[in-house]
Structure 1
Amino acid sequence: MERKLIKILFVEDHPLISEGYVRALKLLKKQRLELDFKISEAASCDAAIHLLQQKAPPGFDLIMLDLVIPPSSCGRWLSGEDIGREVRQRHPETKLLINTSFDSVYRINSIFKTLNPEGYLIKVESNAKVIIDAISRLIDGETFYGGSVLQVLRKNLANDFVLDQWDRQILYQLSLGATTASLSSILPMSKATIERRKRHLKEIFDVEGQDDQRLLERARELGYI
């Protein structure tokens, strides 16, 4: 029997987790004899973009994506979310399976609005059985969401805001040590625009005062940097 080849990319910077994904696929291959898998791996934004930009072979059928991975050396892609955006633009037919540690309502809502993934798992809930089930369902054209994600969706607790790429760039540059005064020379916007965006970010994250440290702490808690 000829097997159907499924091309999968694992974007994950923890080797032990990536090894777990590969083991899960081996088990799935034994369960579904009609399938075969070609696996690629990327541990950073640079590595992921390199694979996505290759013209041959054509795009992946499924990408399993962690949201927190090392940013690209050029600073254009800061996280797995940016890689997901790139996938949606370049390969809209590719299925996205998010697997992340962040389970906040803010983050889940943001990812659904920006990426609308076919699958979404929280790592603490992602044992081998769950991963196998999720990948299998996505291959079959279904969706799969972990228990915590389903609770958010069902209770409709999500907020209505989404941080755009410039909000996230401001947070990223501040996390690297940039000052508000220096941001206008790093990003293509005026100091007044940067100040306005920072005020908006503090309102979103319910942060008071002029100090940026609490803003950065809150952004890290919610998985934006």
Structure 2
Amino acid sequence: MSLTILIVDDHPMTVDSYVNLLSDDSFDTTEPTFLKKYNCETAYKTMLLMEKQNSKIDFAIFDVNLPSYEEANITDGIDLALTIRKTHPLCKVLLLTMHTEAFIVNRIIKSINPDGFISKSEVNFESFPDICKKILKGEVIYSDEIIKSQKKLTHRNLNWDEYDSQILILLSQGVKTVNIPNHIPLSMSSVEKRKANIKSNLLLEKGGDTELINKARQLGLI
């Protein structure tokens, strides 16, 4: 049985390390075919080309932080994962990240529902092949840091969706409320309602954007 694995990371040595780890009799199959990509553009074009050719991708491994492909509005590994869910719906998806902030983790899980989601600080040469084998066999593998981060929102009974997460992240990046509709497809009134809801959940007392962001950072949400 053939096995095609797409690996995308902007560090070629990291990609080669993954290939070496997965080439060492990791799978009960013929030797895997590896597609090695280092940025969003080449990965995105590869996915579209293989869809056009009716060629399958069985397993995709994406770093979350990647050089963007602005022409296609593909900014990171999250967008690549969303794309491959459409172009290759049977493909297993593993995301690797250095960022485990609760809002980012929650956004990824809700929008992509990846088969694997791992903090890079928790994976090593020994565990990586085992994680990949389990995912290909149908298991869903989230690392401890990812689970812990996800629970931060659950414990506070905060029902955030992707837009709520993006609003808070944009505010933390210094984007003014009036400019947020330029970044996400929401009206000004929707942004203001969502922002008010976020504030009511996070701030017991009234406060401005600075107090909101400080509280979110204090809670480990961003």
Q: Which residue of 2 aligns with 1:79?
A: 76
- Among 33, 36, 43, the alignment partner of 1:38 is 33
More displaced stretch, 187-196 vs 132-141 = 187-196
Deviation at 1:137, TM superposition (A): 1.9
Amino acid at match of 2:95: I
Matched AA of 1:25: L
Runs of 5+ unmatched residues, structure 2: none
Aligned twin of 2:166 = 168
- Counterparts in 2 of 1:146 and 1:72: CA distance versus 1, 3 Å: same
How far off is 1:121 after superposition? 1.6
Distance in 2 (CA, whole Å) between partners of 1:191 and 1:150 is 33
Distance of aligned partners of 1:185 and 1:133 in 2 relative to their CA distance in 1, 3 Å threshold: closer
Q: Is the 8 A contact 1:69 1:80 kept in 2?
A: yes
The residue that corresponds to 1:116 in the other structure is 113
Runs of 4+ in 1 over 6 A off after TM superposition: none
The separation in 2 between residues aligned to 1:197 and 1:123, in whole angstroms, is 32
Could you tell me which runs of 5 or more consecutive residues in structure 1 were left unpaired when the two chains were aligned.
none
**CA separation of 1:19/1:144 partners in 2, compared to 1, >3 Å: closer, same or farther?**
same
Q: CA deviation at 1:15?
A: 2.9
Moved more, 56-65 or 70-79: 70-79
| Identical aligned residues as a percent | 23
Are the equivalent residues in 1 in contact too, given 2:21–2:125 (CA < 8 A)? yes
Q: How far does residue 114 in structure 1 lie from its aligned partner after superposition?
A: 2.1
* 2:133 matches 1:136: yes
Q: 1:185 to 1:139 in 2, by over 3 A?
A: closer
Match of 1:22 in 2: 19
Distance 1:25 1:198, change over 3 A: same
Kindly tell me the number of residue pairs found equivalent between the two proteins. 213
